[in-house]
Amino acid sequence: MSQCPNCGAALEPNQLRCNKCGSPVQVVAPAPNAGPVQGAPVDLVHPTNPPKSATTALILSCLISGVGQIYLGQTIKGIVILIGSLVLWGTIVGGPVIWIVAMVDAHAIGNKLASGKSVGQWEFF
């Protein structure tokens, strides 16, 4: 586990900002056939620039459950939500609950990504 160069707090793998002091942390991926120190900076959380919109993720999840998560890069999670909502939509509670949770989750994850925090493939809220 690495440490923040500014305050020394412990950092999670692929974390872009220190949770304690807010300093940006550069993630370095090793170059092929190179030592562990060499490499080019790689942004592992935001594969595209500019970051994707939390509002767009919310709207997509409002239209079709799970699509907001797919838009934000949590593809497998989004597909599971989509299939779960389709299977449970016939029940009185299941489908609507998944739909609401998917909307809230897409917006929360979008906000985390926009603020520079790292997000796992299966992270919720």
The residue extents of the domains of the chain are 1-44, 54-114
pLDDT tens readout for residues 84-115: 998 888 787 888 899 999 999 999 999 998 88
If phi > 0 it is left, if psi is from -120 to 50 it is alpha, else beta; for residue 43 that is beta
pLDDT tens readout for residues 25-83: 765 555 555 444 444 444 444 444 567 899 999 999 999 999 999 999 999 999 999 99
Angle CA 120–114–61, to nearest 5: 70
Burial class (CB in 10 A: 0-12, 13-18, 19+), 94: middle
Amino acid occupying residue 5: P
Average pLDDT, the chain: 79
